[in-house]
Amino acid sequence: MRIEESVKLDFKDVLFRPKRSTLASRKDVDISREFTFKWSGRAYKGVPIIAANMDGVGTFGMAKSFIDNENQTSVALHKHYGLDDLMGFFDAHGGDSVWYSIGMTGDDQEKLDAFVKKRPGKIEKICLDVANGYSEHFVNFVKTIREKMPDVTIMAGNVVTGEMVEELILAGVDVVKVGIGPGSVCTTRKMTGVGYPQLSAIIDCADAAHGLGGQICADGGCTVPGDVAKAFGGGADFVMLGGMLAGHDQSDQATVEEGGEKFLSFYGMSSDTAMTKHKGGVAEYRASEGKTVKIPYRGDVQGTMQDVLGGIRSTCTYVGAKHLKELSKRTTFIRVSQQINNVFGES
């Protein structure tokens, strides 16, 4: 047993230090990024925010809204859509703005193989999504998918340490997904005691990825637009949002009315709710690592996206970053004491 005593930080532990700026307006800020992915060789240009591959978030409705509004963001579709529905969506909208998500089950792989056989070349981006990205089995799975799909951009995770980011990139991953336990409906930290403060995970993992020419996607822990900006300030190339995008028209879920107010359900994909819905229940060898909550109905997601993108632009003006890619270079974080956090009502 050993203990790491160096300070590790979450989003709530820091604030941006403002700096002198020549920017006259938020509209002068470019929040898009351009990358050429390490392994696929594909060029990317867009606003690097991804709707999470969760029920109620990574939906066809969300993807259509993002495409129709041309805000250059993308959606990781949840992995429980049927083959025919997926092919129909890709036929109608293409694969540029969506990530095709799979796990490591045999059914997931069979569906992917069938899709590729019937629609060759349609999938441009794939998200390999597991709760624990540290297993040797997962690394070997990544290598298999890379060999099978050499020209597809692969995002995979989740991990929280630099050495595992390096291993996944060397195995063929273009974008490593970073985060264990920070999500609003994730209970992994409570159930297992495993996790890592998200901002420090981003900082450490970004450093490791960029040294090898890869990218990272910060996944989880963002509850307000300022958190998204902090993730980019810490070095994230992409930020994945779950709870912030739940509860909208695009969630493709029925609303429930209580006391004159409308609500939608939102749950972690390792929750009892999700496993019962998609797998018939929680397997006897595991426990639920997610919870189910009610989210107030929020209307069209574009209102939320305007807040998120506007918040990022505003952050950039405060620190003098004309382009999003400059934000991490212009960032100085100020440690915030727990006493001040309590005054702000944070926990």
Which of the following is catalytic: 127, 186, 217, 316? 186
- Say how far apart CA 345 and CA 347 lie, in whole Å: 7
On whether the CB atoms of residues 194 and 233 are closer than 8 A, the answer is: no
- Mapped onto helix, strand or coil, the DSSP state of residue 185 is coil
109: how many CB neighbours lie within 10 A of its CB? 16
| Amino acid making up residue 321 | A
C-alpha closest to that of 207 among 167, 250, 176, 162: 162
Structure tokens at 133: 């990205």
Q: List, in order, residues 6 or more apart from 297 with CB less than 8 Å away.
A: 247, 255, 261, 262, 263, 264
The DSSP secondary-structure symbol of 271 reads B
Q: In sequence order, what DSSP letters do the residues of 63-110 get, joined into one string?
A: HHHHHHHT---EEE--TTS-HHHHHHHHHHH-STTEEEEE-SSHHHHH
Helix (H) or strand (E) holding 239: strand 238-241
Q: Are 57 and 246 in contact (CB under 8 A)?
A: yes
Gap between the Cα atoms of 141 and 160, Å rounded: 19
**Is 186 an annotated catalytic residue?**
yes
Q: Which residues are catalytic?
A: 186
